[in-house]
Amino acid sequence: MFTSLSIRNFRCFESLSIDDSLNRVNLIAGLNSAGKTALLEAIYMLIGMGNVELVVQLGNYRGLAGNYLGELSQLTELLWNSLFHNLNSSDVIEIRGIHCGREHVAQVSIDRVSTTHFSVSDGRADEGTGELESLPIYGHFLKLVHSKPDGSVVESAMVIEAASDGALTVRVASDPPIRPELPFRGSYLGGNKSRGLQNAATKYTRLESEREPSELLETLRIIEPRLKRVRVGVVAGTPMLRGDIGIGRMVPLSLLGDGLGSLTNTLLAIADAPDGVVLIDEIENGFHHSVLSRVWASIDEAARRYNTQVFATTHSFECIEAAHEAFREDREYAFRLHRLERIADETHVITYDQETLAAAIRTNLEVR
């Protein structure tokens, strides 16, 4: 579990520190543009060091997806420079995290040398390992450096190349020329968490092979009490989760409402990241306020069972109050509320422990 984080020169953060106040489940609040999503992105960069595809994914989550054409410099501005504070890519992004007492450091920079010694793959930087084809690369590239607690360093890079038809292709490279093992398992669930239930089907199959996922079914009944069973089926060539709600036919879960999709995705993401990290943007989306407390209780239970650390953002006071209610039933109270607030042009993290949050809720003091 991460206990501390520090971020420098990333997105809206010139610098940001959270010292020794992280817990198993962390809820991030703050005004619009305070940096809640950027904080999740920074953690995502840290846990996924070595997977340069994350940079493209983050661009997608920010609505920067597309079939890129045109000037190479425009795409690098879009995908790369936007990672840097004030778009200033001449400095290095540094994200540090203390995990189980050991420090992991991720550094991101744009290297402007003309030739590198990196080996380059033609494919995507998927999870897993395998040798990469060795090719020299030219031009500048985005470099990611992961310094592990044991002192070893893994470097990886993203190159953007223009094809003859004008299409821009993202290519990845690493040194040593082996696809690096990712430091932590993890998932990033964007604002619409019910999207991508195909991924949920894969995760469910993996979970099913390891244990009977009956707890998941029980939990999903918080949202859909009619649910009798959940199965993975292939529809039109696409694996998807389907549920039996007693109408004689299995129904894709995605048709049973945003709440069910959100809870399914959230719990499967936690189960699929043992000893890892799950990041959830706008966690309250899709949930009626009356079920929020039970949703949090199920997240608490799943996070403990799989030893998964959760970071989520919210704008909802009801969501915060429900989390406090759920976690205070747990003797450990493995929960912290953190608010990002700009003070004198710097972003600060203000953390509420159990007593302080209880007092704020009791006296109707604002916390967001």
Partner 1 sequence: MPPRSGIRAPIQLLVEGADAQFFFMHFLNHMGFNNVEVQGEIEWRGHSKVYKDAPDMIKGLGLRSKLDEEDLAAFDRVRNEILGRLDPSDAEISNFGGVTELHSFLGAVWNAPRARTTIEAIGIVRDAELSASGTESAAEAAFKSAYAAISASELNPPERPLQVVGEKPRIGILILPPGESEGMLEDVCLDAVQADPAMPCVDEYIECVKRSVPNWRGQNRKKASVQAFLASRPEPGLKLGEGAKLGYWNWSHEVYSPIKQFIEDLTGH
> Given the rule CB under 8 A, which residues bind partner 1?
31, 317, 339, 341, 343-344, 348, 350-353, 355-360, 362-368
Contact 219, 298 (CB under 8 A): yes
Q: Which of residues 152 and 364 has its CB atom nearest to partner 1 in the complex?
A: 364
Contact 111, 141 (CB under 8 A): yes
With helix as H, strand as E and coil as C, how does 12-68 read?
CEEEEEECCCCCCEEEEEECCCCCHHHHHHHHHHHHCCCCCHHHHHHHHHCCCCCCC
The 13-18 sheet, strands edge to edge: 13-18, 2-10, 93-99, 102-111, 141-147, 153-162, 168-175, 119-120
- Tokens 């945003």 found at: 258
CB of 366 to partner 1, least distance (A): 4
Q: Which of residues 89 and 316 has its CB atom nearest to partner 1 in the complex?
A: 316
CB of 55 to partner 1, least distance (A): 32
Q: Which of residues 122 and 346 has its CB atom nearest to partner 1 in the complex?
A: 346
- Tokens 């809640």 found at: 36
In eight-state DSSP terms, residue 180 is P
Q: Which of residues 34 and 256 has its CB atom nearest to partner 1 in the complex?
A: 34
Q: Which of residues 255 and 358 has its CB atom nearest to partner 1 in the complex?
A: 358
Q: Which of residues 331 and 362 has its CB atom nearest to partner 1 in the complex?
A: 362
CB of 269 to partner 1, least distance (A): 29
CB of 356 to partner 1, least distance (A): 4
CB of 361 to partner 1, least distance (A): 8
Beta bridge partners of 74: none
Beta bridge partners of 168: 162
CB of 349 to partner 1, least distance (A): 11
Other residues' Cβ atoms within 10 Å of the Cβ of residue 52: 25
